[in-house]
């Protein structure tokens, strides 16, 4: 957590304030604002996707103040078609299957006023920990995946260790598939001190 930004992470719920969430003037990022304000709770209630939010604590001197969302990550069950580009050497029998189980990062967004404070990276690290220590302990979940915006590929590769699915079809996609092999994580590795680029945002298809 960065100095000057006091926040905590919790599952989204109705008392959270989302109407002040802003993605700035870029019209391409408006769906991320619209989702957290209009769809996230509905998706969560109906078991389509779950959203975890970075929350600014309310002013203790203002009884009407609400917990304010300054960033969020949305997760859903999914799968990844590796297309032979990443054979599982530790489980060769699984390579005969077209798709392998995964947890998908369907949305990742940081309020434009809080960009550059590592919040997006922290939310991703939270998602990784959730996948490894909780989800994968109860159901098959080998990968964390996302459909990355072109300008976010470097963030996922360099800051979080994701791999671009190396197929011609995927490389040509507007939002290429990236994945993190949860079995290959070094959970004792030191954290990268650098955070996400200014305005880091991510929108993937819920699938």
Domain CATH number, residue 151: 3.40.630.30
Residue 3 lies in a domain: no
Q: Is the pTM of this model over 0.75?
A: yes
Residue 77 lies in a domain: yes
The string of DSSP codes covering 9-53 is EEE--TTSB-TT----S-GGGHHHHHIIIIIHHHHHHTTS-EEEE
Residue 199 in this model has a pLDDT that exceeds 70: no
State how many domains the chain has. 1
- Coil, strand or helix at 117: coil
According to DSSP, residue 96 is labeled G
Share the mean pLDDT of the chain. Answer: 89
User: Domain range for residue 163?
Assistant: 8-203
Residue 154 lies in a domain: yes
Residue 103 lies in a domain: yes
Q: What is the pLDDT, as a whole number, of residue 128?
A: 98
- Coil, strand or helix at 70: strand
116-150 per-position pLDDT tens digit: 999 999 999 999 999 999 999 999 999 999 999 98
Return the number of other C-beta atoms located less than 10 Å from residue 89's C-beta. 7
């Amino acid at each position: 957590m960065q100095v000057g930004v006091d926040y905590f992470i919790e599952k989204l719920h109705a008392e959270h304030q989302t109407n002040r969430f802003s993605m700035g003037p870029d019209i391409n990022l408006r769906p991320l604002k619209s989702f957290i304000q209009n769809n996230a709770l509905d998706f969560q209630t109906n078991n389509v996707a779950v959203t975890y939010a970075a929350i600014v604590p309310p002013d203790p001197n203002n009884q009407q103040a609400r917990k304010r969302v300054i960033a969020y990550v949305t997760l859903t069950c999914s799968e990844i078609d590796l297309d032979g580009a990443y054979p599982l050497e530790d489980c060769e029998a699984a390579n005969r299957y077209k798709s392998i189980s995964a947890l998908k990062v369907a949305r990742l967004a940081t309020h434009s006023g809080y960009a550059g404070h590592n919040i997006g990276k922290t939310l991703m690290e939270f998602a990784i920990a959730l996948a490894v220590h909780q989800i994968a302990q109860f159901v098959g979940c080998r990968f964390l995946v996302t459909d990355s915006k072109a300008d976010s590929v470097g963030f996922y590769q360099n800051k979080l260790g994701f791999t671009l699915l190396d197929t011609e079809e995927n490389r040509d996609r507007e939002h290429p598939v990236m994945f993190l092999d949860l079995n290959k994580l070094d959970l004792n590795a030191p954290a990268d001190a650098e955070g996400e680029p200014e305005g880091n945002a991510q929108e993937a298809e819920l699938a």
